[in-house]
Structure 1
Amino acid sequence: MTVTASQETGEAQGYRWRWVALFVILAAEVMDLLDALVTTIAAPTIQRELGGTDSLVQWLGAGYTLAMAVGLITGGRLGDLYGRKRMFLIGAFGFTAASLLCGVAGSPEMLIGARVLQGLFGAVMLPQGLGLIKEMFPPHELGKAFGMFGPVMTISSVGGPVLAGWLVDADFFGTGWRMIFLINLPLGLAAALAGIRFLPEYRLSNATRLDLGGVGLVSLAALLLIYPLIQGRELGWPWWTFASMAASAVVFAVFARYESRRAASGRDPLVVPGLFRKRAFTGGLVAGLAFFSGMMGFGLVFSLYAQMGLGFTPLKAGLAGLPQAIGGVIGFGLAMSGLQEKLGRGLLQIGATVMAAGAAALALTIHFAGLDVTVWQLAPGLGLVGIGMGLTMAPFFDIVLAGVEPHESGSASGTLTAVQQLGGALGSAVLGTLFFNLLADRWGFGDSMEVTVWVEVGLLVLTFALSFLMPRHARPGQDPAH
């Protein structure tokens, strides 16, 4: 077959077009990752300037991740129904507008509401990008395309807290903490406008309808659990906070029953009920909830300890956390060098052990050094925590998804990602409440941080124990989970 010059030109243009579209999607990922991280550094400054109680600090992270968790369950299906490009653009413009609302917020309530909107629009935007990549790239280029996520996410996770601290300290145009949100405006508008020009439109002709009843039930159950955990301490733990948490378990049970009936009637459920009868998958869900709760809660509390207890500026607090971020890059790199395929579940267990050892070293450092502890003394423990985190996260999703059938992997992946976000909200609620409760009981900052770190060690031990329920290795030929 003869290939003409026009065909070669068309193929070259198609190649360039795909990679430009990929960078549009990556820009959206950067916005999400930065906004998941920056408030942990800026929260003390926001509380001091905007007012609000200690719960504001927790809701800044928990409101975003809780909304993201609920929205991600249906975000991908919205793209199937109404077109991936259309929903990506709605998500990108909405996320940018919500960022503007965050930046001009005049009250704690307005800021928290805008953070929830960010999470919801982010949940609409992000799944479309991953779906578009699978549609745009031929099989032999998929690995290279998805491989771009690693460096971008690494740079964002390392630079995000430092960027947040720098923006708060620099106080550009008198904006202070507001700039951590306003910086999304040029990035979001650029991604949305480039998306209009370069993203293709894909839509499934056989897409199933949304399970709005299931969405409502799971949203209510999550809110009934998270709200009293954050607000209960400030309200003196009235009886209704415990009733709300008990009601959450009941609503989750009702949700499971509803999904089973929906599946039995031939309608498409939000979550495939059969997944929860698989020990490997349910064990992975609980392990993920423990792991991500501890990881996100620890990040929030460490930032509070560094700024409120040690007197660090936002920038210095961001720099103090760099050893953990760099350790995460090292751990992830080690995993990708072949250890993941060779060790499988064992790598996850090694990672949890290393992370727990690092947290224990950090707790002992804080105990013996007191409030005179330096950034350099904190670095070894934080570095180990980061290395263990990278080793654990690298194989986690692929190992857990190996415990389900191939036709269940879509629902399982969405559920696992939602649990990851729910874990972030739960960690901010539980570890944040523990930290503030200890301070209210006249514990010192060092002692309060030390106790919180030991709770994180306990959650890592639980993660290690539950890992024995997971498959030993990822399924051969399994598509990587992102």
Structure 2
Amino acid sequence: MTVTASAATTGIQPYRRRWVALFVILAAEVMDLLDALVTVIAAPTIRKELGGSESLVQWLGAGYTLAMAVGLITGGRLGDLFGRKRMFVIGACGFTAASLLCGLAVSPEMLIASRVAQGLFGAVMIPQGLGLIKEMFPPSELGKAFGMFGPVMTISSVGGPVLAGWLVDADFFGTGWRMIFLINLPIGLAAVLAALRYLPEYRLSDATKLDLPGVALVSAAAFLLVFPLIQGRELGWPAWTFVSMAASVVMFALFGRYESRRAASGRDPLITPSLFHKRAFTGGLVAGLAFFSGMMGFGLVFSLYTQIGLGFTPLEAGLAALPQAIGGVAGFALAMSGLQEKLGRGLLQIGTLVMGAGAAVLAVTINLAGVEVSGWQLAPGLALVGIGMGLTMAPFFDIVLAGVEPHESGSASGTLTGIQQLGGALGTAVLGTLFFNLLAAEWSFGSSMQVTVWVEVGLLALTFALSYLLPRRARPEQQAH
């Protein structure tokens, strides 16, 4: 495999230049992470001011994550074909423009379409940064460079909901909720200008062509599944919704068959079919789908419960969720202190148990305290959920990818990341629909929230059971210990 770099940037970049480039890439990561979180807090206010049905609340998150899931599968390959710097700049420009359209949206339909555009351009932008880091940094500095992602993701996950609530409540220049999107404009423009100056250009001279039929098939399959799950409740579950969900299964099967034939004919498939012959990888995909569905769906429903059910302001709702975010930071730090290497798969299992225990504590608290429950009373259960989440996520990707062959790693990583995003869309659709269904059946907000929490516990139990399909350690040399 040959790498072609521009003449001005051949070889490892000078020290200062590559670290400036890293901060450009991290700025793009911040935009993506914040936009995945902020609408969870702002959704009730957006619907109140912009109008639209209850499904708008779900589509704000699901539209973004679904587009990201589909785009990520092929986003990295665009950089291989056309140049990583070029595709990063295109992705950042598109993401920034889509953010502006979100902030200027005059209808629910315009806002949802703009969120989908954000997800698609984000899927073009994010993989290029990771690839560029590998090319810019020597092996001795690579660990330090990737280590910067931990604090950035931590700060974004902790500060995102609070920032969203503060921006909505502050109502700067009369923009209200629109500021959660408009804040991307200075960040995005700065990232684009800095990328043009500091990022090197890399392109694979022997990169394979895009598998566009594969992209179309998997996109259609995902849409046929998520769309009826969100819209079906409001329409009274007509027959076509069930036909659509059944058709999604058929489309996924057709996608698998097409990818196998493409690989057999010597062409590069979108997803390497041999991955699905590995029990550990397939089990990890299903476990990831269950885990991330529950995690994202729970976040949306908790925001609705606190704001609509308990009457919290957006800022109060963001602060109420803060113990979970801080717990997640603590759990991740605990895992990184040596537990991940020592326990391997066991750490993931402990994490799901702690997370499930926290969810159970939360459900009991809501049941006992009723409508008078305070953020302080919710904090212990949420903190446990966060700690368990951090313990689970820390080893997850390494362990699931442990049995993958080197030539399959690119496809496996993209597929696993895509499943993470698809899980977010699916969880938003399923748990959001369940919550709204219970409210429509005249259940109280507290009771509806409790049912949602117990469904999350069930998804965690499924994740725990599927974890036994995974290898005990992320690296073979650890297996003997």
Query: TM-score category by the smaller chain?
Result: over 0.9
Distance in 2 of aligned mates of 1:286 and 1:427: 13
Matching residue of 2:345 = 345
SS at match of 2:204: coil
**Corresponding residue for residue 113 of structure 2:** 113
- How many angstroms does 1:272 deviate by? 0.5
Aligned pairs for 1:299-338 within 5 A:
299-338=299-338
Q: Which residue of 2 aligns with 1:451?
A: 451
> What SS does the aligned partner of 1:403 have?
coil
Deviation at 1:405, TM superposition (A): 1.4
Match of 1:276 in 2: 276
Return the letter of the residue paired with 1:127.
P
> How far apart in 1 are the matches of 2:403 and 2:413?
11
- AA paired with 2:431? L
Equivalent position of 1:357 in the other structure = 357
> Secondary structure of the equivalent of 1:235?
coil
Letter aligned with residue 324 of structure 2: Q
Q: Which amino acid aligns with 1:175?
A: T
**Which position in structure 2 is the counterpart of 1:262?**
262
2:12 touches 2:135 (CA, 8 Å); kept in 1? no
Q: Aligned letter for 1:193?
A: L
SS state at 2:203 partner: coil
Paired letter, 2:101: L
> 1:203 aligns to what SS in structure 2?
strand
How many residues align structurally? 469
Which AA in structure 2 matches 1:37? L
Query: Alpha-carbon deviations, 1:39-92, whole Å to 9, x = none?
Result: 000000000000000000000000000000000000000000000000000000
Structure-2 separation of matches of 1:396 and 1:273? 22
Structure 2 unmatched ranges of 5 or more = 1-10
What stretches of structure 1 move > 3 A for 4+ residues in a row?
Answer: none
> TM-score normalised to the size of structure 1?
0.96
Alignment of 1:50 with 2:41, yes or no, is no
Measure, in 1, the Cα distance between the counterparts of 2:127 and 2:406. Answer: 19
What is the match of residue 368 of structure 1? 368
Q: 8 Å contact 2:323–2:382 — kept in the other structure?
A: yes
State the AA in 2 paired with 1:369: A
1:400 matches 2:400: yes
| AA matched with 1:276 | F
- Pair 1:233 & 2:222 matched: no
**Native 8 Å contact 2:271 2:415 kept in 1:** yes
Distance, in Å, in 2 between the alignment partners of 1:269 and 1:110 is 34
CA distance in 2, matches of 1:96, 1:475: 39
When normalised by structure 2's length, the TM-score is 0.96
Q: Does residue 85 of structure 2 align to residue 85 of structure 1? A: yes
* 1:166 aligned residue: 166
Which residue of structure 2 lines up, in the alignment, with residue 126 of structure 1?
A: 126
Distance 2:302 2:55 in 1: 16
- Cα distance in structure 1, aligned partners of 2:296 and 2:371: 23
Whether 1:180 and 2:180 are equivalent positions in the alignment is yes
Q: Report the Cα distance in structure 1 between the residues aligned to 2:400 and 2:473, rounded to whole angstroms.
A: 9
Q: Distance in 1 between matches of 2:98 and 2:171?
A: 21
Equivalent residues of 2:12, 2:138 under 8 A apart? no
The aligned runs of 1:8-27 (5 Å cut-off) are 14-27=14-27
TM-superposed deviation, 1:475: 1.8
- Which residue does the alignment assign to 2:290? 290
Query: Percent identical across equivalent pairs?
Result: 84
Measured after TM superposition, the shift of residue 12 of structure 1 is: 12
2:12 and 2:137 in contact (8 A); partners too: no
Tell me the SS of whatever aligns to 2:442. coil
Find the counterpart in structure 1 of residue 3 from structure 2.
none
Match in the other structure for 1:470: 470
Matching of residue 41 in structure 1 with residue 41 in structure 2: yes
Corresponding position of 1:4: none
Q: Which residue of 2 aligns with 1:441?
A: 441
Work out whether residues 324 and 387 of structure 2, in 8 Å CA contact, stay in contact via their aligned partners in 1.
yes
Distance 1:75 1:381 in 2: 38
Shift in Å, 1:403: 2.1
> 2-side partners of 1:15 and 1:282: how far apart?
41
Tell me how far 1:477 sits from its aligned partner: 8.3
Mapping 1:184-195, distance limit 5 Å: 184-195=184-195
Counterpart residue type for residue 343 of structure 1: L
Match of 1:384 in 2: 384
Task: Note the aligned Cα RMSD (angstroms).
Answer: 1.3
Deviations 1:362-418 (A, max 9, x none): 000001111100111100000000000000000000000002212211111100000
CA distance in 1, matches of 2:82, 2:294: 37
Distance 1:200 1:142 in 2: 16
Paired letter, 2:229:
L
Q: Which residue of 2 aligns with 1:248?
A: 248
Q: Paired residue for 1:410?
A: 410
Counterpart code for 1:339: L
Partner of 1:3: none
Aligned to 1:428: 428
1:191 counterpart letter in structure 2 = A
2:138 and 2:169 map into 1 onto residues whose CA distance is 46
SS in 1 for 2:371: helix
> 1:75 corresponds to which residue?
75
- SS of alignment partner, residue 233 of structure 1: coil
Structure 1 distance, partners of 2:131, 2:250, is: 34
Q: Structure 1's 168 and 477: CA in aligned 2 closer, same or farther, altered over 3 A?
A: farther
